[in-house]
Amino acid sequence: MARETGVYRRGDSRYWWIAATLPNGQRIRQSAGTEDRKEAEALLAKLKVEAFRAENFGVRPQHSWQEAVVRYLSSKSHLRSFADAQRICRGLDRYVGQLMLCDIDGDVIWRITQAELKRGNRAATVNRYLSVVR
């Protein structure tokens, strides 16, 4: 019965899981990260609405800088330079910490560049910072 809604429970997990095909044809299978069925169904509905808007209206979902940092650092966690990546993200946080990714434009990057050069960082260091933003 639960599979008909796209939300189900695995035997080895206390969380609800989502398995569905979105309106744009993309198949998703992921943990809802919640123990409440209604929250899991709400997450599935949100994913479906975002996919519908992206497909039919060209509206892409907005993501925050913080979400991007979490995703970036999780992909870099196995590297020896992980501590450097964390340091760079912390340094950039003071400039773009509260921004959405769609709000980061050339002016923001220019302000980051000028502020870091003014702090005494060399051009190579600033380029390392900017490579994370790109």
Q: Which of 2, 63, 8, 50 is nearest to 31 (CA)?
A: 8
Residue-wise pLDDT for 6-55, tens only, equals: 999 998 999 999 999 988 888 999 999 899 999 999 999 999 998 888 88
Q: Does the predicted model carry a pTM greater than 0.85?
A: no
Residue-wise pLDDT for 99-134, tens only, equals: 888 888 899 999 999 999 999 989 998 898 888 887
Percent helix / strand / coil, the chain, rounded to 5: 60, 10, 30
Identify the bridge partners of residue 31 per DSSP, sorted by sequence position.
17
